[in-house]
Amino acid sequence: MPRASANGIELEYDTFGDPADPPLVLVMGLGTQMTAWPEPFCAAIDEQGFHVIRFDNRDIGLSTLIDTAAQPDLGAILSGDPSSAPYLLADLAEDTAGLLDALGIPAAHFVGASMGGMIVQQLAIDHPRRVRSLCSIMSTTGAHTVGQPAQETLPFLFAPPAADREEAVDNGQRLFETIGAPGYPTPTPELRDLIGRAYDRSYRPAGTLRQLAAIVASPDRTAGLASVTVPAAVIHGDADKLVDVSGGHATAAALPATTPLIIEGMGHDLPAQLWPTLVEAIVANARRAA
């Protein structure tokens, strides 16, 4: 896969479809590589007439590892002192804008999942002319009163790194059995295979911790979202335990004239059974920008 110089770092990226088609950028979430946007999902959007771009955020996958700073103090950040966070969501948004620069793209449609939704929200606030439309999936505004994780998910967020591949796959299985879509469960062998392949491509638990610090240390985006004028879509599962559905409702309420699509039985993942629904909503929103 190619790499692009963006905002002083290197981003690994991949594309689908004709570069002459309108560009649509997929931004993935906390500690999750671009390959979590499955190729058939990307191809389904491409088939609707979009040039699809996915990439690894900094500190994950094969993009630049930000390992020169001390590890963040999550306790201090949660207590209101963000000074140990090596970067913020605004920096990840700058990376994304830098990717557009590297690819010679003036503006694109953006779709973000979880932390990726936070990034595209921040991008639309900071660089409104670069965003043709935005779709925020299973994400939140950064307000502390909404979108908070359920208690049973917290041990996964603060767990120590796995010692080896088998432990990483076991931990990942338990995580997704907790946060995944209860109405659309992924079969265990398929789930373990996906987790194992992600581990083989790249395993960066320290980067995940720094990304988590960026989420916690970044300010509330609610007021800024009121300035977004491009077509916006919000998608959330009513069974999401990692980012409570209140985060989706709050995101839609903060954006002008946006009604959230709340999907019954969807958790904090992208099960194949829901791809047609998700692709339809993404494409319909992007076409509103035309």
pLDDT in tens, 192-239: 999 999 999 999 999 999 999 999 999 999 999 999 999 999 999 999
| Strands across the sheet containing 3-6 | 3-6, 9-16, 51-55, 23-27, 108-113, 131-137, 232-237, 261-263
H or E stretch at 236:
strand 232-237
Give 70's pLDDT tier (boundaries 50, 70, 90).
Answer: confident
Provide mean pLDDT across the span 18-32: 98
Rounded distance between C-alpha atoms, residue 100 and residue 81, angstroms: 32
Place of tokens 């338990």: 174
pLDDT 10s digits, 118-139? 999 999 999 999 999 999 999 9
pLDDT at 68: 82
The domain locations on the chain are: 3-288
Question: Mean pLDDT score of the chain, rounded to an integer?
Answer: 97
Give 114's pLDDT tier (boundaries 50, 70, 90).
Answer: very high
Write down the pTM of the prediction.
0.97
H or E stretch at 25:
strand 23-27
Give 290's pLDDT tier (boundaries 50, 70, 90).
Answer: confident
Give 65's pLDDT tier (boundaries 50, 70, 90).
Answer: very high
**Strand, helix or coil at 184?**
coil
pLDDT at 1: 77
pLDDT 10s digits, 165-201? 999 999 999 999 999 999 999 999 999 999 999 999 9
Provide mean pLDDT across the span 59-86: 93
Q: Could you give the count of Cα atoms lying within 13 Å of 17 in the half-sphere of its Cβ?
A: 23
Chain-centroid distance of CA 248 in Å reads 14
Of 288, 228, 235, 286, give the one whose Cα is nearest residue 254: 228
Task: Tell me: pLDDT of 109 over 80.
Answer: yes
Q: Which CATH superfamily is domain 3-288 in?
A: Alpha/Beta hydrolase fold, catalytic domain (3.40.50.1820)
Rounded distance between C-alpha atoms, residue 34 and residue 262, angstroms: 24
Task: Tell me: pLDDT of 32 over 80.
Answer: yes
Burial class (CB in 10 A: 0-12, 13-18, 19+), 287: middle
H or E stretch at 131:
strand 131-137
Of 159, 143, 114, 109, give the one whose Cα is nearest residue 225: 143
Lowest mean pLDDT among 62-76, 103-117, 226-240: 62-76
pLDDT at 231: 98
- Residues 168-172: contacts with CB under 8 Å, at least 24 apart: 168/195, 168/199, 168/203, 169/195, 169/196, 169/199, 172/198, 172/199
